[in-house]
Structure formats: C-alpha cells, structure tokens
Amino acid sequence: MTTPATPCPPCHPKRKPPPSKCWPGDDLDGYTEVYPDNPLLHLYWDAEILDLSGVPSRRIIRVEDPFAVRFRIEFTGPAWQCMAGDWVFDVRFDEQGGPADFKLSSLLPAGALTQKDWKGCDKPPCVQLAYTVPANTIQDSVYQLTSTFRLYCCGKPGPIVGFEPEKEFQWYA
C-alpha cells in the first residue's frame, strides 16, 4: 500500500505584509529572506516600473521614453536600527525568445542603483531608491523582469536578500 505524497511546505513562506507605515497604501509584496530568520527583524519590499509622473507604467513602453524604477524596503522589529551597509538593487531583463538577457545596472552609471552607507540608527525603518532610466537605454523587445536587492556589509554580500517577479514588458521603437 502506498501513501499519497503530501506537498512539501515552502522553506521560506512569504509573509503577508502588514499595512505600510512608510508608504500607506503600497503593497510591499516582494519575496525576502533574512538569514537566520529572526523575529527581531522582518522586512517587506516592493519594486515598480513607473512613468515619470510616478504612476505604475503601462506594460508597453516606447524605446524613446524615459521611465523610472523605484525600490522600497520597510522593516519591522527593533533590530533594523543596528544595521548598516549598502543596499544594492537591480532589475533583470530576460528577453522572451532571445539571447539579450541583462541586468539594468549594466546599462547605467556605476552605483546608480545602490544606496551607499545606509545606517539604521540614522534613519526611519524605510529604504527607498528611485532612478530615472534615460530614453533609448532598453532595446526593442519583450522582456520578463525580475527585481532584486541585497544588503552588502563591509563590501561583502550579506545574508539579507529579496526578489520580486515583475510582469512582462515590451519596449518598441
């Protein structure tokens, strides 16, 4: 007699974000991991592709149009005040049906998607980085986007990471 297989629970289940105190109404719904898991520190995050007025962008964008990327992290628990480092954000572009996969940071000035020298003791429990991507940065194609972040401490990658799968977007000439 065989026993039916039971689904394996996810190793790191996604927590439902509490209402944002930093950005009321924003759905901080990206995936994160703080290792080792600790009730003294939780974080929630979100990444968006926006038009220049701050509205979430349509999924079809002219190559000639600049657009913005915005990354937000919000902490809960008291341990964030003891953190310091560089928050490094990025957006991965995976071309649908093609070989042109790249990270947005590879097309921008060095450090454009980094918040350097962040110190929790000097800040509220909120991290935000917004960057306007110039026109003609992204080439004509359809891409699956995934946003990422990582905290670097003393120049080394730390165990605080996250990602958020975005939708498919098309850039056209």
More confident residue, 131 or 27: 131
* SS3 of residue 145 by DSSP: strand
Could you tell me if 66 and 57 are in contact, meaning their C-beta atoms sit under 8 angstroms apart? Answer: no
* pTM for the whole structure: 0.87
Asked if residues 128 and 74 have their Cβ atoms less than 8 Å apart, the reply is: no
The 10s digit of each residue's pLDDT in 124-138 is 999 999 999 999 999
Instruction: Give the mean model confidence (pLDDT) for residues 38-60.
Output: 88
Contacts of 107 (CB under 8 A, 6+ apart): 137, 138
CATH fold for domain 31-172: Coagulation Factor XIII; Chain A, domain 1 (2.70.50)
Q: Find out whether 44 and 73 touch, Cβ atoms under 8 Å.
A: yes
CA atoms in the 13 A half-sphere facing the CB of 149: 31
**The two three-digit tokens of residue 123, written as one number:** 């800040």
Furthest C-alpha separation in the chain: 64
Domain ranges for the chain, please list them: 31-172
